[in-house]
Amino acid sequence: MIGMQEALAEARAAAARAEVPVGAVLLGPDGAILAADGNRVEERHDASAHAEMLVLRRAGVLLGTPRLIGCELVVTLEPCAMCAAAIAGFRIRRVVFGAYDPKGGGIEHGARVFEAPGSLHRPEVVGGVRESECAALLRDFFQQRR
Amino acid sequence: MIGMQEALAEARAAAARAEVPVGAVLLGPDGAILAADGNRVEERHDASAHAEMLVLRRAGVLLGTPRLIGCELVVTLEPCAMCAAAIAGFRIRRVVFGAYDPKGGGIEHGARVFEAPGSLHRPEVVGGVRESECAALLRDFFQQRR
């Protein structure tokens, strides 16, 4: 799946910064990578600095619009409710994610944002891509910190 | 209610910039205003640049932490699912909002983020403060643009 390799590299780089290892890339309508980043919550003192939010915001600035029509988001972990709602706000065409997140996810779990009445936009969703690699990164990170 | 006057002023300033008129302030644990801003979605080409997100992020940088323990958010409109989940992520103690938003709200409507299983944190919520003034700003804005 285009982009997941790069998202995994961003997740590993986040772990090296002592951030929860989640990485994301934003693909333009032509499939080219517009932005790639990992979690930066602790570094920026910003609870909203999830990998997804960072690449969405960067792509908006690059394309000069808050509506990223035809773009695709690839991320190593199921997005939380904040990121899912931002994905709808930015009008992302498709979301591809790696590991499922029964505790913190907001697409297939929890608030299930795209299924809620009033969701601005419902992107196509593909979950479980390279799931075991994505999940292993998170598992190893939390085991080392215990 | 402390902060709503300033949040209304930020909402009016947003309207003057042709942004959807929503304003927010972030109060520190002592009740002092740490940050105040309005919507900047169009200006920044950023669908996540809601008033709430901007003041949360600014306060995180000011206080040097992504966990705004004891802080309160005051906003003229019921936060959407993105902002509600960010409010939980930043561990805000209390949310005070003006107008209810049956279409786009994510606290009392839609995804009802704080009631979802797995919500990180559930702040105290007070809705309907200076509701008619807050709602009138939005109504006038959308009427003028039709």
Q: For B44-72, what is the mean pLDDT? A: 98
Query: Helix (H, G, I), strand (E, B), or coil: what is residue B7?
Result: helix
Distance CA B44, CA B46 (A): 5
Which of B19, B45, B120 to mutate: most A Cβ within 10 Å? B45
Per-residue pLDDT of B8-31, as tens digits, reads 999 999 999 999 999 999 999 999
Query: CA-to-CA distance for B17 and B35, rounded, in angstroms?
Result: 19
- Cα–Cα–Cα angle for A8, A13, A19, rounded to 5 degrees: 105
CB contact under 8 A, A60 and B80: no
Per-residue confidence (pLDDT) for residue A145, from 0 to 100: 83
Q: Can you tell me the distance from the alpha carbon of A104 to that of A80, in angstroms, rounded to the nearest whole number?
A: 6
- The string of pLDDT tens digits covering residues A113-132 is 999 987 878 999 999 999 99
Contact B48 A46 (CB under 8 A): no
* Position B120 confidence tier, pLDDT thresholds 50, 70, 90: confident
- Span B73-91, average pLDDT: 98
When pLDDT is averaged across residues B29-53 and rounded to a whole number, the result is: 98
pLDDT tier at B118 (50, 70, 90 boundaries)?
confident
* pLDDT in the model for residue B119: 81
Q: Which residues of B touch A100 (CB under 8 A)?
A: none
